[in-house]
Amino acid sequence: MRSKLAGLEDAVSAVRDGMTVMISGFGIPGTPFTLIDELVRQRPRNLTIIKNDANERGMGIDRLLEAGMVDVLVASHIGLNPRAVEQMNAGRLRVEFNSQGILAERVRAAGVGLDAVLTDIGMETQLAEGKQRVELRGKTLLVEPALHADVAFIHAEQADPFGNLRYAATARNFAPLMAMAARTTIAEVEDLVPVGSIAADHVHTPGPFVQQLVVLPELSEAYHVFNRA
Amino acid sequence: MSSTVLERMLSRAALELKDGQTVNLGIGLPTRIPAFLDPSITVCIHSENGIAGMGPVAPAGMADRNLIDAGGNYITTVAGTSYFDSAVSFGLIRGGHLDLTILGAFEVASNGDLANWMIPGRFTPGMGGAMELAQKARRVVVLTTHVDKNGNSKLIDRCSLPLTAPACVERVITDLAVIDVTATGFLLRELAAGASIDAVRAQTRAPLAVAATLGSY
């Protein structure tokens, strides 16, 4: 079997100027901090980032914003990151807000070969402005196009070399969806186990969706419990 | 707000949760409701980041780095907790499987319109899951102070701020009153201890009908 194991630098070099990158995580849990930090080091430019939130100052995708690598951020909520709000208000960062579950479905749609989802979420609000509408069974619905990416960065608790993944608790969030939606999915994993060690019923993301695995030698400070007090 | 007033609001809000329901409690005041629940009932608390069956906030030093609620608080599990991805989590909301959500508000209009996600030019964090919760939970209750920090009523005739969802709120619980949204506008149902009909009227910027029998809390 061809191993999907890759070195950190080599894996992240798949991201080039102008690409669209999906990044898993909701707040800290599930955010692939190591892949993001390596991306900051390699510094490709003019990226479109698709991530639920903008993390918090000094961590995760805030570092991409700080380095000026991001042109467009597709997200649902950036309120915990003052830098993201500031860059948006200054016109230096284009933020495309999506309702959180619609963001999830747009990503999922790309991953499962659907061109769009139809929804009434946000109808009669400013979210609906400028969006294509269709009539279906007597109802007016918004067309929310599938969101594709060149590369997905995700974080998993456990993996086998075939790329079967298992997530921990609320660190799952967007990872299974993004793993399906990108041309190249790179998973950073805490624990690599032999093929067959993850029971078939316990696999959250099946191996065929994953192209590269980066094993984390250790977890940096960013992954740990964050004391906001 | 004094702790007595706060506890009165939270105790009253806790009565909205019924045994066996699946509920989502918005960031801020609503997340503090579970401590006031009748211990004889069991509710399943959902958080949109991917958990149903959420326990209390983790005690100091006991936090699990992978286990938070949508507000970023480190939480705990209960017997029967499940985890799922964000698509499933919002499927639960949009698909009609969420019995109740209790949310905060900037403005609630007498037709049930809710504004709680942005203040143009001042507060633009993004809607997160607020629109889907407000539009698709089977019942939407707002828990908020009756007036904002500047003394302006949050209960008004028409929202001036961008809407989270139209005609979604069924009930508003404040430090002064419990007010239902009816086909003909606001209806005062209950008065908080120390509040009067006149005081509630004075703090409400919309016509207010009064129920035949008024409860208290």
CATH number at residue A72: 3.40.1080.10
Query: Which pair of tokens denotes residue B163?
Result: 């809407």
Query: Measuring CA to CA, how many Å separate B151 from each of B146, B163, B188?
Result: 9, 21, 20
CB contact under 8 A, A169 and B66: yes
CB B122 within 8 A of CB B192: no
Query: Measuring CA to CA, how many Å separate B132 from each of A36, A76, B165, B187?
Result: 30, 12, 8, 26
Q: Which of B49, B126, B163 sits opposite A124 (nearest CB)?
A: B163
CB contact under 8 A, A76 and B129: yes
Which one is catalytic: B7, B16, B48, B170?
A: B48
| A97 in a structural domain | yes
DSSP conformational letter for B189: E
CB contact under 8 A, B49 and A170: yes
Rounded to an integer, what distance in angstroms lies between the CA atom of residue B143 and that of residue B64? 29
**One-letter amino acid of B126:** G
Q: Is B183 left (phi over 0), alpha (psi -120 to 50) or beta?
A: alpha
| A224 in a structural domain | no
Query: By CA distance, what is B81's nearest residue in A?
Result: A169
Number of domains, chain B: 1
Alpha-helix residue ranges (DSSP H) falling in chain B: 3-14, 86-94, 130-136, 197-202
Q: Mean pLDDT, to the nearest integer, of A13-19?
A: 98
The reported pLDDT for the residue numbered B182 is 98
Domain that holds residue B164: 3-216
Number of domains, chain A: 1
| A169 in a structural domain | yes
Average pLDDT value over all residues in chain B: 97
CB contact under 8 A, A77 and B166: no
The reported pLDDT for the residue numbered B1 is 82
- The tens digit of pLDDT for each residue in B37-85 reads 999 999 999 999 999 999 999 998 999 999 999 999 999 999 999 999 9
Domain that holds residue A46: 8-102+110-115+148-215
| A136 in a structural domain | no
The reported pLDDT for the residue numbered B28 is 87
The reported pLDDT for the residue numbered A227 is 82
- The tens digit of pLDDT for each residue in A159-207 reads 999 999 999 999 999 999 999 999 999 999 999 999 999 999 999 999 9
Portion of chain B with pLDDT greater than 90, in percent: 97
Reply yes or no on whether the pLDDT at A139 is more than 70: yes
Interface test with A, best of B27, B46, B49, B135 (most A CBs within 10 A): B49
Measure A214 CA to nearest chain B CA, in Å.
Answer: 19
Q: Which of B125, B127, B166 sits opposite A85 (nearest CB)?
A: B125
Give the per-residue SS3 of chain A.
CCCCECCHHHHHCCCCCCCEEEECCCCCCCCCHHHHHHHHHHCCCCEEEECCECCCCCCCHHHHHHCCCEEEEEECECCCCHHHHHHHHCCCCEEEECCHHHHHHHHHHHHCCCCEEEECCCCCCHHHCCCCEEEECCEEEEEEECCCEEEEEEEEEEECCCCCEECCHHHCCCHHHHHHHEEEEEEEEEEECCCCCCCHHHCCECHHHCCEEEECCCCCHHHCCCCCC
Give the burial string for A129-166 (b: 16+ CB within 10 Å, else e). eeeeeeeeeeeebbebebbbbbbbbbbbbbbbbbbbbb
Query: By CA distance, what is B62's nearest residue in A?
Result: A225
CATH number of the domain that residue B152 is part of: 3.40.1080.10
Residues of B in contact with A52 (CB under 8 A): 86
- The tens digit of pLDDT for each residue in B198-212 reads 999 999 999 999 999
Reply yes or no on whether the pLDDT at A1 is more than 90: no
| A227 in a structural domain | no
Residue whose tokens read 């009067």:
B196
| A95 in a structural domain | yes
pTM for the structure as a whole: 0.97
DSSP conformational letter for B30: G
Interface test with A, best of B24, B86, B94, B158 (most A CBs within 10 A): B86
Measure A100 CA to nearest chain B CA, in Å.
Answer: 5
| A203 in a structural domain | yes
Known catalytic residue: B48? yes
CB A142 within 8 A of CB A121: yes
Query: Measuring CA to CA, how many Å separate B184 from each of B9, B163, B181?
Result: 25, 20, 8
> Where does the pLDDT of residue A229 fall: very low under 50, low under 70, confident under 90, or very high at 90 and above?
low
- The tens digit of pLDDT for each residue in B134-143 reads 999 999 999 9
> Where does the pLDDT of residue A3 fall: very low under 50, low under 70, confident under 90, or very high at 90 and above?
confident
Residues sharing a CB contact under 8 Å with residue B10, sequence separation 6 or more, in sequence order: B29, B32, B33, B35, B36, B143
Residues sharing a CB contact under 8 Å with residue A112, sequence separation 6 or more, in sequence order: A180
- The tens digit of pLDDT for each residue in B88-146 reads 999 999 999 999 999 999 999 999 999 999 999 999 999 999 999 999 999 999 999 99
